Amino acid sequence: KKKGMSKGAKIGLGIGIGCFSFILIIIALIALGNKYTSKLPVITLTSPENNITIQKMEIEVKGKVEPVNSEVTVNGEEVKVNKNDGSFSTKLEQLSVGETKIVVVATSGSRQSVVTRVITRKLSAAEEQQIKEYERMSAEQKAKTEQEKSSQNQPCDNGKIGCETCALYLNNSSTIHLATNKENYDRLTNLLLAHDNEGVNEMLLQGKLFTTETGVKVRIIDVKWGGATEVRLIEGYDKGKSGWINSEFLK
C-alpha cells in the first residue's frame, strides 16, 4: 500500500498557500489604495491673470502643480511638467478677437483639479490700421468696378477714333476673327459673304487672321468707309495686338 503525504507536510503546504494568497491580497489592496487615495492636485497658475485685456495674438500660460508627477493639460493639449519642481509652461497662439477661455486641468491618479482664466483680446493699433487700409482699398476697388460697369453700359461711338468703351461681340460665338491688315479684311469680308469657311480657315493658317475672345475691350485706332475699323486690344491674352473688323461687331 502506497503512503500518502504526511499530515505535517499537508499542514505546511496549506500554510504556504495561505501566506502567498495573503501577500497577493495585500499588494492588490495597496495598488487599489494608491488609485483611490491619490492626493488632489494643486494648481498654482502664475500667468495669465484672470479677466485681463491684451492686444497680442499669443499668451503664455505657466504655473506649478503638486504633486510633481501630475499630468497637466491646457485647453485639452498635454503640457510637459518639470518633475523636479512641478513647473509647466506653454503658449496659446493665434488668439481671436474677443474672449478666450483658458482651462488648465491637473490629474493625479483618479483625482483632478481645474483652474480657468478668461482673457479678452482687442485689436492692436497696427491691426486697426490694416483694417482701415483694407476697407479703403475695398471702397476704391468697388468704385472702380462701378465705374467700369458704367462705362460698359455707355453706347460705343464706333465712328470715333480713340474710343475705349467698345468691346468685340459676335452672337452665338465665344471667339471672333480679326484681319491683320485692311487688305486681309477685304478678303475676309468677301469670304464671309460667300460663306466660304474653308477660305477663312486657310487665312487663319496663313497668319492673315487671328482670333480673340468675344467681349474683349478695344480702342478704335482707324476707321474706313464701309465699316472697316482698325482696333487695338486693350485687355485679354492678345492685349496690345491690332486688327481689322467690321464696326457692326463693336458694341
**Residue 207, C-beta contacts closer than 8 angstroms, at least 6 positions apart:** 180
* pLDDT tens-place string over residues 130-147: 888 878 888 887 777 666
Q: Record the pTM.
A: 0.45
Give per-residue pLDDT as tens, 115-134.
999 999 998 888 888 888 87
Amino acid, res. 96? S
User: What's the first-to-final CA gap in the chain, in angstroms?
Assistant: 127
Query: pLDDT-derived band of residue 153, with 50, 70 and 90 as boundaries?
Result: very low
Cell triple for residue 61? 500660460
- φ/ψ of residue 78, rounded to 5: -65, 140
Report percent pLDDT > 70 for the chain. Answer: 75
Tell me: the pLDDT tens digits for 180-205? Answer: 999 999 998 888 888 888 888 899 89
Tally of CA atoms within 13 A in the half-sphere of 66 that contains its CB:
3
What pLDDT, on a 0 to 100 scale, did the predictor assign at position 238? Answer: 85
Closest CA to 122 of 167, 55, 218: 55
User: Cβ atoms within 10 A of the Cβ of 95, count?
Assistant: 17
Helix (H, G, I), strand (E, B) or coil at 239: coil
Higher pLDDT, 195 or 113: 113
Partners of residue 71 on adjacent β-strands: 107
